Amino acid sequence: MEPVTRYLIRISVDRYPGEPERSNAHYRQHPLTWNELALSATCRGEAMRWEAKHDRDAFKEVWLLFENGQGRFPLYPGESVWIEYAYSVGDEKWGRWFQRAVRLPTEHLEAQLVYPPCSTRSFGGRRRR
């Protein structure tokens, strides 16, 4: 097996769920930008570089690279690692939902979400085998 050298994340927003035409029009006028996301990622305390895979008005797909200006730190078969990444999306673009797909074997997943105080929240999840 080859070492893992990158990890794919997707940032997707939908200000008006269930109203695709309204959402599309909103994001054509107010696209989600890399600057406002202020994406950062670390692995084992090391900053990770990232590389855009898809850059659309309402979603971004990004490869988090197991490397930085100091060198590479791939994940070898049998190893496990903790990856932390953070980004910001303002209320005017976020919408009323959050979803995260995990496609690699994962023993532990933690998400810390900061919502406006006046928002209504509900949480759920499912595990697929």
Work out the average pLDDT over 87-111: 70
Q: Is the pLDDT of residue 100 over 90?
A: no
Work out the average pLDDT over 79-102: 78
What percent of the chain has pLDDT above 90? 53
Q: CA–CA separation, 124 vs 129, rounded Å?
A: 17
Q: Where are the domains of the chain?
A: 1-129
Q: Supply the pTM of this predicted model.
A: 0.78
CB-side neighbour CA atoms (13 Å) of 32: 27
What percent of the chain has pLDDT above 70? 73
Report pLDDT digits (tens) over 15-71: 888 899 999 999 999 999 999 999 999 999 999 999 999 999 999 999 999 999 999
Nearest to 54 by CA among 32, 85, 22: 32
